[in-house]
Amino acid sequence: MIKLYGTAMSRSARSLWALEELGLKYEHIPVEVAKAKSPEMLKLNPNGHIPTLDDNGVVVWESMAVNLYLAEKYGKAPFWPATPEQHAHVYQWSFWGMLEVEPHLVTILRNRVFLPPEQRDAKADQAAVEALKAPLKVLDDHLKHSSFILGNDFTIADLNVASILSLAMMVKLDFPAAPTASAWLQKCLSRPASQKLHNMK
């Protein structure tokens, strides 16, 4: 049985979404961020982070690695594309989301939600909002030519990038200068597999 350790209120959500999208049978073991460094969890993931996947003894951590592993092992085209060239674009956009977008969204979250009011940095928040404009334009321009990131079909690349951009919903951050990307994000997040996350711990 596949086991996924982590709370849906963390990066674990993107791996839960992938499991649901693939229609796999799995056991979700809710582990809060604060409990990720317990002795039991450290045996699975020495970094003390979530999510951690245990696929019948194959342990994988880091949410993006978990998702790429699940898609490659259990997915079929078009969700997991059929060619190395398309795989390259999956990796490209997945890493792009992690490197170009997520750090700015995390900065915004920290300064609007996570940190106590007296520790919040309005300048850092605004700088992150400004820094997001360039990568969002890249995505918006790209999506003007196709329904989804790799073409006309929803793939693991869409799931990975949309899961990152979904963080913006927590702070009600709109993308007025990227309407195509915004519409694409809503389309991805409205998928039944994504909607199931709302009822998870």
Structure tokens at 190: 């409205």
Each residue's pLDDT tens digit, 51-78: 999 999 999 999 999 999 999 999 999 9
- Residue of 100, 82, 57 whose CA lies nearest to 156: 82
182 & 91 share domain: yes
93 & 12 share domain: no
CATH number at residue 149: 1.20.1050.10
112 & 175 share domain: yes
Each residue's pLDDT tens digit, 133-159: 999 999 999 999 999 999 999 999 999
User: Is residue 201 domain-resident?
Assistant: no
- Residue of 1, 105, 13, 101 whose CA lies nearest to 58: 1
Which domain-ending residue is among 75, 101, 136? 75
- 3-class secondary structure, 52: strand
98 & 190 share domain: yes
Domain limits for position 100: 84-195
60 & 98 share domain: no
Rounded (10°) angle between helices 156-165 and 179-189: 110
Q: Is residue 197 pLDDT above 90, yes or no?
A: yes
Distance (Å, rounded) from C-alpha 165 to C-alpha 97?
A: 8
- Residue of 150, 70, 135 whose CA lies nearest to 62: 70
Structure tokens at 6: 């982590």
Q: pTM of whole model > 0.85?
A: yes
User: How many other C-beta atoms can be found within 10 angstroms of the C-beta atom of residue 71?
Assistant: 24
99 & 18 share domain: no
Arithmetic mean of pLDDT, 166-180 = 93
